[in-house]
Amino acid sequence: MAMKNSTISALIVILALFSSSHVSYGELRLGFYSKTCPNVEQIVSQVVKDAFSKNSTLAPLMLRLYFHDCFSNGCDASLLLDGSASEKTAPPNLSVDGYALIDTVKTAVEKNCTGVVSCSDIIALATRDLVTLASGGKTRYEIPTGRFDGKVSSAATVKLPGPKMSVSDTIKMFEDRNLNVTDMVLLLGGHTIGVAHCSFILDRLYNFKNTGKPDPSMNTTLVEELKKQCPKDSVEQVINLDQDASSSNIVDASFYKQIRSRRGILHIDQLLATDPLTSDVVMNLANGNDFLARFGQAMVKLGSVGVLDKVTGEIRTSCRSCKNPLCT
Ligand code: HEM
Ligand SMILES: *[C@@H]1O[C@H](CO)[C@@H](O)[C@H](O)[C@H]1NC(C)=O
Ligand SMILES: *[C@@H]1O[C@H](CO)[C@@H](O)[C@H](O)[C@H]1NC(C)=O
Ligand SMILES: *[C@@H]1O[C@H](CO)[C@@H](O)[C@H](O)[C@H]1NC(C)=O
Ligand SMILES: CC(=O)N[C@H]1CO[C@H](CO)[C@@H](O)[C@@H]1O
Ligand SMILES: CC(=O)N[C@H]1CO[C@H](CO)[C@@H](O)[C@@H]1O
């Protein structure tokens, strides 16, 4: 039986609407909880603000947690699950923290609206608020919600880029998650705050590629400064990722200016400034072209990677354990 033309056009419109919203943000939308938990964003902001005022290192911790969670198997809070072989036990997560803040926020949210808000949305909202706080209030992005929590977490499936990878291999990993090269350069701007352990750069300071010399791409003034902070046998010592001392803890574009002065810390950070695949974007951002707003948009895009829905995911009661008994 033939369908009426009007029915067919209506179907086409519905399909077009569905696929366009699907392509951009999975099932996410702004104000997903406007009926079921209208105060969720205020509750998250309040708890986060109080915590940040006591300890501002929560900003880099949470930013990195968001990146690791979203990059490995999607933004599904699987990184939060405890367990002897869950994602958080994988070596790249060893220094990720911020779990305690998520627990505090989750408890506050559950008190107000029980069993409604996912841990993955709490991570996304808390990270957004911490970016705002760490920018000194200079930026704030709206972040769509509607993520559901994963029912699987396995250290074996953690896939993250390493700091010694090439720019082109790193681009490939981002592209596999629908993040393009511009998004990648913007997101690595996350290294405008926080620290790295000296162990990641001892080779750059003392024995680059077994030459017995420092990495020639590192500013020689910086090499001397860092040698003092990172002696050859450093284990616990950390150094700022943004070597502009006046803004090491501030979310701003200084990271790009630093890497253009050969003052990048991680090898991949430094490569961004010189590799022809990324150097133009770096120059553009270093010259003050709207980093804060564009960073927010890239964070939103990162927040849409591998999002689960209510069939594939669940709403946890505690962020550290699944409700689903089959969860591994
Ligand atoms: C190619 C991609 C990336 C690589 C290879 C990488 C690597 C690293 C490494 C090795 C550290 C130091 C960890 C430690 O010593 O404890 C670090 C720290 C950090 N990363 Fe990345 N990262 C990448 C992308 C990102 C992205 C996209 C973000 C966020 C948008 C991010 C945010 C951070 C933050 C905030 C810290 C500091 C954490 C702290 O102070 O506790 N990173 N990253
Ligand atoms: C802030 O939190 C970090 C990470 O949990 C911790 O190492 C540091 O000692 C804390 N700082 C203060 C002032 O409490
Ligand atoms: C990357 O994606 C952003 C946002 O989705 C878009 O505006 C930009 O044009 C893309 N850039 C490249 C180089 O494809
Ligand atoms: C090295 O860093 C200093 C600041 O410490 C800067 O003035 C200088 O221009 C940098 N050198 C190069 C080659 O970029
Ligand atoms: C902060 C945190 O929970 N880190 C964990 C990362 O993995 C190690 C190894 O299993 C745990 O001991 C840490 O607690
Ligand atoms: C859904 C729900 O319980 N909302 C409440 C959250 O808390 C505020 C006060 O802080 C109430 O006004 C809401 O009704």
Closest Cα partner for 279 from 262, 266, 293, 297? Answer: 262
Ligand 2: atom nearest CA of 55 is: 1
The binding site for Ca(2+) consists of: 69, 74, 76, 78, 87, 192, 244, 252
Mean predicted lDDT score pLDDT of the chain: 89
Contacts (Cβ under 8 Å, ≥6 apart) of 44: 105, 109, 122, 125, 126, 129
Position 159 scores a pLDDT of: 84
Backbone phi, psi, residue 65, to 5°: -60, -45
Residues 6-25, mean pLDDT to the nearest whole number: 45
Ligand 5, atom 7, lies closest to the CA of 89
CA of 177 to the centre of ligand 3 (A): 13
Q: Contact, 290 vs 298, CB < 8 A?
A: no
Closest Cα partner for 260 from 246, 239, 279? Answer: 279
pLDDT per residue over 61-114, tens digit each? 999 999 999 998 899 998 878 766 555 555 544 344 588 899 999 999 999 999
Q: Is the pLDDT of residue 157 over 90?
A: no
Please choose from 65, 79, 86, 88 the residue to mutate so as to test ligand 5's pocket, defined by most ligand atoms within 8 A of CB: 88
Residues 12-31, mean pLDDT to the nearest whole number: 56
Read off the pTM: 0.88
Tally of CA atoms within 13 A in the half-sphere of 12 that contains its CB: 7
CA of 194 to the centre of ligand 2 (A): 12
Ligand 1, atom 32, lies closest to the CA of 64
**Domains of the chain, each with CATH number or no CATH:** 14-160 (1.10.520.10), 167-296 (1.10.420.10)
Ligand 2, atom 6, lies closest to the CA of 57
CA of 270 to the centre of ligand 4 (A): 14
What ligand is nearest to the CA atom of residue 217?
Answer: 4
Q: Contact, 283 vs 260, CB < 8 A?
A: yes
Ligand 6: atom nearest CA of 42 is: 10
CA of 181 to the centre of ligand 3 (A): 8
Position 20 scores a pLDDT of: 41
Position 6 scores a pLDDT of: 54
Query: Catalytic residue positions?
Result: 68
